[in-house]
Amino acid sequence: MDPEMDSQLKVGFIGAGNMAFGIAKGILSGNVLPVNVKVSAPSSRNLGRFQELGIAVTHSNIEVICGSDVVFVAVKPHLVPLVLNEISQHVTDRHIIVSVAAGVTLATLEELLPENSVAIRLMPNLPCVVQEGALLFARGSHAKQEDGALLRSLLHRCGLVEEGPEAWIDIHTGVSGSGVAFVYLFAEALAEGAVKMGMPSALAHSIASQTVLGAGRLLRDSGKHPAQLRSEVCTPGGTTIYGLHTLEQGGLRASTMSAVESATERARELGRKSAAGSRK
């Protein structure tokens, strides 16, 4: 996309949580100017950090929709019908509505918005805050390829941005949205293992976080399969293979796969509840 177009684009956020903040930081590190961004939330609790970025804040969702071209709906899933019903009469064909609410389907979004509205469903994750996110989006029935290209251009500083079919969004929620917490749990366990063996807690947590970061970067940048990298660390009869055997005995692999499955199914359940709520 033309950087000049990005700089003139007006972007709004309805909701001021971590996802909105992470995306806002990402787009501001690109070509979007703070003066062209506005955020709304019912309370002022989370608005201060947006103001520190030079972003205008308001308590009016209507003000955001009327002054924006691209609007990120970044509220809890159960609030999406309420918010879209409120702003619907102000949505025009110039708007791109991007929902980051877990489980809320494109069908639900399009049902709540005016006919022929451009809707996109996006699932980011928390590392967007440090521009290392993994984001997947799916276009609605009225969103054109160029709408997707515009969104990708906006978000490219947030991390990895991919497009796929909507069926993948709930899976992405499980593997990456929730998966971040799974990695944190593993990092915590690594550090606690080191503490158990006699290392000071602060140092153990610092080394554990760097280990996760370094392993992730090597995995991403090398292009190698995780199993190949794992085998490169293992030497016959060495420390790593003994540790891996213990992890396998504890069911780490199966538990992790089940965690992704559970989180994915929960996202789908939230989607069904949201759809049912929007029809009431």
Annotated ligand binding at 196? The verdict is no
Dihedral sign from CA coordinates of 164, 169, 173, 177: positive
Annotated ligand binding at 275? The verdict is no
DSSP 95: -
Q: What is the mean pLDDT of residues 18-43?
A: 92
In this structure, what token pair is assigned to residue 202?
């602060």
Annotated ligand binding at 76? The verdict is yes
Residues 181-206 pLDDT 10s: 999 999 999 999 999 999 999 999 99
The top-level CATH class assigned to 11-164 is alpha beta
Residues 67-102 pLDDT 10s: 999 999 999 988 999 999 999 999 999 999 999 988
User: Which one-letter amino acid corresponds to residue 132?
Assistant: E
Q: What is the mean pLDDT of residues 31-46?
A: 92
DSSP characters for 106-158? HHHHHHHSPTT-EEEEEE--GGGGGT-EEEEEEE-TT--HHHHHHHHHHHGGG
Q: Can you give the residue ranges of every domain in the chain?
A: 11-164, 173-269
Q: Which stretch of DSSP H or E encloses residue 169?
A: helix 167-172
Annotated ligand binding at 116? The verdict is no
Cα–Cα dist 26/133, whole Å: 9
Annotated ligand binding at 75? The verdict is yes
Comparing 43 with 61, the larger pLDDT belongs to 61
User: Which one-letter amino acid corresponds to residue 131?
Assistant: Q
Instruction: Please tell me the predicted confidence (pLDDT) of residue 278.
Output: 64
Name the superfamily (CATH) of residues 173-269: ProC C-terminal domain-like (1.10.3730.10)
Cα–Cα dist 161/156, whole Å: 6
User: Could you tell me which residues come within 8 angstroms of residue 34 by beta carbon, excluding any fewer than 6 positions away?
Assistant: 28, 53, 54, 55
Q: What is the mean pLDDT of residues 22-43?
A: 92
Measured in degrees and rounded to the nearest 5, phi and psi for residue 103 equal 85, -15
Residues 262-279 pLDDT 10s: 999 998 888 787 777 666
Q: What's the pLDDT band for 8 if we cut at 50, 70, 90?
A: confident
Annotated ligand binding at 77? The verdict is yes
Instruction: Please tell me the predicted confidence (pLDDT) of residue 5.
Output: 58
Nearest Cα residue to 162 out of 174, 183, 176 = 176
Q: Is the pLDDT of residue 126 over 70?
A: yes
Instruction: Please tell me the predicted confidence (pLDDT) of residue 277.
Output: 67
Q: What's the pLDDT band for 2 if we cut at 50, 70, 90?
A: low
Annotated ligand binding at 15? The verdict is yes
Q: pLDDT above 90 covers what percent of the chain?
A: 84
